[in-house]
């Protein structure tokens, strides 16, 4: 086979395996010649030789034999190999000296599926995480988990990683934050070890990248991430990504990455609701009781905390820890008074600030009308009643003045708002349906 023929064959390979794979694995090969039916290629590293032979060996051989029928075998030879003759080729694992580019970030031992409390707001994310953790055939790639701070994204990612490692210790599972991905990338650039970097990242079986929003706006890191991502997807390797918002809402993220992130299963962790918070508190209280066996906690305290503390589970946990530590220091049982004393700052900070926008949106949704109709000038009952309900809730649940509220309802006069609020106050007593609507709306806004 001539170099020209090898060139033509490379073009064909590129079409077959895709440009990314081609660039990473085939292009770096240099054709050395054929001796005794063995086609010899030079490769930059042992690892690469093993990898190409395992993954593209058959394909390569069949293509080669179409040009030169008596090729029986392919041999990969490391360029400038200083390995003693007769030594077995390296296994497909990171070679010593380059592995520092790749250690997985440490996993938190508490973040397992066992300790994850499941409720309505996170049941889908939990189910998807479980599925991926079973390590079966890759059915959605990537799995993209998103949600606000402290809702359990990292917890779920670690849980997946623990479970996969437990089920199959051989599996090369790599968990790291997008920030760490960037630092390793920069390190590889600085040390001129991009080839090592690429090989290492392409050799993992499962890649998990936490807080992907971090690389938004960081162009070359995004670019590298994109290539890593594609190479792994092409090899049918599972990828799990988390972010603080949906892929299409991450600013300064390249469109091609966004669409890649959306191409698998996207699930969000909703803000916790009262029931989930209570469930989490009940679970965590057991752990606290083990630490402080002598402490008693009054009934109602957990319910109070679940009601009053924000949706962020981290804050909730912190509050409980503080409460137990405090009570044990002063040697008293945990009462409602003690709780309010000890957690005054947390309780104040998490008082929900409900906005007029939010109220308007919820009310329109509740009555199944368009927001513009509710705020606009139409006077028919279908719109006027919900409008009054929304005004009433704005007066009750925000600290806005009547003129301010009027302005936000299409520039209405403050007397109109006052009239609306009075009307709802009356109806609340006379009309069971309105009373129920108000209660539902209030609860959903406070959740
Ligand atoms: P995120 O990564 O979404 O910001 P984390 O996964 O770090 O949030 O979670 C914050 C804290 O709350 C962790 O200590 C985690 O164990 C805990 N946590 C979150 N959700 C749950 C849950 N459903 N059950 C138990 N603990 C949870
Ligand atoms: Mg996190």
Helix or strand or coil: residue 269?
A: strand
Contacts 24+ apart (CB under 8 A), 126-132: 126/156, 128/265, 128/267, 129/156, 129/157, 129/159, 129/160, 132/160, 132/238, 132/240
What is the number of domains present in the chain?
A: 4
Q: Tell whether residue 65 is among the known ligand binding residues.
A: no
Residue where a domain terminates, one of 247, 268, 289: 268
pLDDT band at 447 (very low <50, low <70, confident <90, very high): low
- Same domain, residue pair 21 and 58: yes
pTM (two decimals): 0.64
Does residue 118 form part of some domain?
yes
- Same domain, residue pair 256 and 283: no
* CATH code of residue 283: 1.10.8.60
Alpha-carbon span 413 to 403, nearest angstrom: 7
| Predicted local distance difference test score (pLDDT) of residue 352 | 63
Does residue 292 form part of some domain?
yes
Q: What average pLDDT score do residues 128-132 get?
A: 97
Q: Tell whether residue 398 is among the known ligand binding residues.
A: no
Q: Which of 118, 152, 267 to mutate to test the pocket of ligand 1 (most atoms within 8 A of CB)?
A: 152
% of the chain beyond a pLDDT of 90:
62
Among 18-27, 34-43, 400-409, where is mean pLDDT lowest? 18-27
Residue where a domain terminates, one of 239, 268, 297: 268
- Same domain, residue pair 178 and 325: no
- Same domain, residue pair 333 and 189: no
Residue where a domain terminates, one of 268, 291, 322: 268
Among 135-139, 251-255, 264-268, where is mean pLDDT lowest? 135-139
Does residue 434 form part of some domain?
yes
- Same domain, residue pair 259 and 286: no
Alpha-carbon span 168 to 134, nearest angstrom: 10
Q: Residue 125 Cα, ligand 1 centroid: separation in angstroms?
A: 13
Q: What average pLDDT score do residues 321-350 get?
A: 91
Q: Tell whether residue 136 is among the known ligand binding residues.
A: no
Checking if the pLDDT of 97 tops 60, the result is no
Query: From the CA of 148, which ligand is nearest?
Result: 1
User: Tens of pLDDT along 358-384?
Assistant: 999 999 999 999 999 999 999 999 999
- Same domain, residue pair 328 and 377: no
Does residue 95 form part of some domain?
no
Q: Residue 244 Cα, ligand 2 centroid: separation in angstroms?
A: 9
- Same domain, residue pair 128 and 68: no
* CATH code of residue 10: 3.30.300.180
Q: Residue 279 Cα, ligand 2 centroid: separation in angstroms?
A: 21
- Same domain, residue pair 219 and 144: yes
Q: Tell whether residue 152 is among the known ligand binding residues.
A: yes
Buried b (16+ CB within 10 A) or exposed e, 117-153: bebebbeebbebbbebbebeebebbbbbbbbbebbbb
- Same domain, residue pair 285 and 229: no
Cα-based torsion angle of the residue sequence 292, 112, 105, 175 in order, rounded to the nearest 10 degrees: -160
Q: Indicate the DSSP class of residue 409.
A: T
Domain that holds residue 59: 3-81
* CATH code of residue 393: 1.10.1750.10
Does residue 377 form part of some domain?
yes
Does residue 403 form part of some domain?
yes
- Same domain, residue pair 74 and 146: no
- Same domain, residue pair 245 and 118: yes
**Which protein residue's CA is at the shortest distance from atom 20 of ligand 1?**
152
Tokens of residue 12, six digits: 């064909």
| Predicted local distance difference test score (pLDDT) of residue 197 | 92
Q: Which of 282, 313, 317 to mutate to test the pocket of ligand 1 (most atoms within 8 A of CB)?
A: 313
* CATH code of residue 244: 3.40.50.300
Does residue 69 form part of some domain?
yes
- Same domain, residue pair 151 and 259: yes
* Binding pocket residue ranges, ligand 1, CB within 6 Å: 111, 115-117, 122, 147, 149-155, 280, 313-314, 317
User: Tens of pLDDT along 189-243?
Assistant: 999 999 999 998 999 999 999 999 999 999 999 999 999 999 999 999 999 999 9
Does residue 63 form part of some domain?
yes
């Amino acid at each position: 086979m001539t170099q020209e023929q090898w060139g033509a064959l490379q073009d064909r390979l590129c079409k077959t395996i895709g440009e990314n794979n081609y660039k990473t694995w085939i292009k770096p090969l240099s054709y050395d010649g054929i001796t005794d039916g063995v086609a010899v290629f030079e490769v930059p590293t042992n690892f690469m030789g093993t990898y190409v032979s395992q993954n593209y060996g058959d394909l390569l051989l069949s293509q080669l034999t179409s040009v030169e029928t008596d090729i029986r075998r392919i041999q990969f030879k490391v360029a400038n190999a200083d390995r003693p003759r007769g030594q077995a080729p390296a296994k497909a694992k990171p070679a010593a000296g380059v592995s520092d580019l790749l250690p997985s970030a440490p996993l938190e031992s508490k973040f397992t599926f066992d300790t994850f409390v499941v409720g309505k707001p996170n049941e889908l994310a939990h189910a998807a995480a479980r599925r991926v953790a079973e390590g079966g055939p890759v059915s959605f790639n990537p799995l993209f988990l998103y949600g606000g701070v402290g809702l359990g994204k990292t917890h779920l990612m670690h849980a997946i990683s623990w479970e996969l490692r437990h089920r199959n210790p051989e599996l090369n599972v790599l968990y790291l934050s997008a920030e760490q991905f960037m630092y390793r990338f920069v390190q590889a650039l600085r040390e001129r070890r991009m080839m090592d970097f690429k090989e290492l990242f392409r050799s993992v079986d499962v890649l998990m990248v936490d807080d992907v929003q971090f690389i938004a706006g960081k162009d070359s890191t995004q670019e590298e991430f994109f290539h890593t991502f594609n190479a792994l997807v092409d090899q049918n390797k599972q990828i799990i990504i988390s972010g603080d918002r949906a892929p299409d809402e991450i600013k300064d993220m390249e469109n091609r990455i966004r669409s890649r992130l959306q191409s698998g299963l996207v699930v969000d962790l909703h803000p916790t609701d009262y029931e989930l918070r209570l469930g989490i508190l009940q679970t965590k209280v057991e752990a606290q009781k083990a630490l402080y066996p002598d402490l008693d906690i009054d009934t109602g305290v957990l319910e109070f905390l679940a009601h009053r503390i924000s949706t962020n589970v981290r804050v909730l946990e912190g509050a409980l820890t503080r409460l137990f530590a405090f009570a044990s220091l002063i040697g008293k049982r945990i009462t409602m008074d003690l709780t309010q004393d000890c957690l005054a700052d947390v309780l104040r900070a998490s008082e929900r600030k409900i906005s007029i926008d939010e109220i308007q949106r919820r009310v329109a949704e509740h009555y199944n009308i368009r927001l513009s109709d509710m705020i606009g000038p139409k006077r028919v009952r279908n719109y006027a009643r919900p409008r009054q309900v929304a005004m009433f809730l704005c007066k009750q649940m925000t600290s806005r003045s009547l003129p301010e509220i009027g302005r936000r309802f299409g520039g209405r006069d403050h007397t109109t708002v006052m009239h609306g609020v009075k009307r709802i106050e009356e109806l609340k007593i006379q009309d069971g349906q309105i009373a129920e609507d108000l209660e539902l709306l209030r609860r959903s806004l406070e959740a």
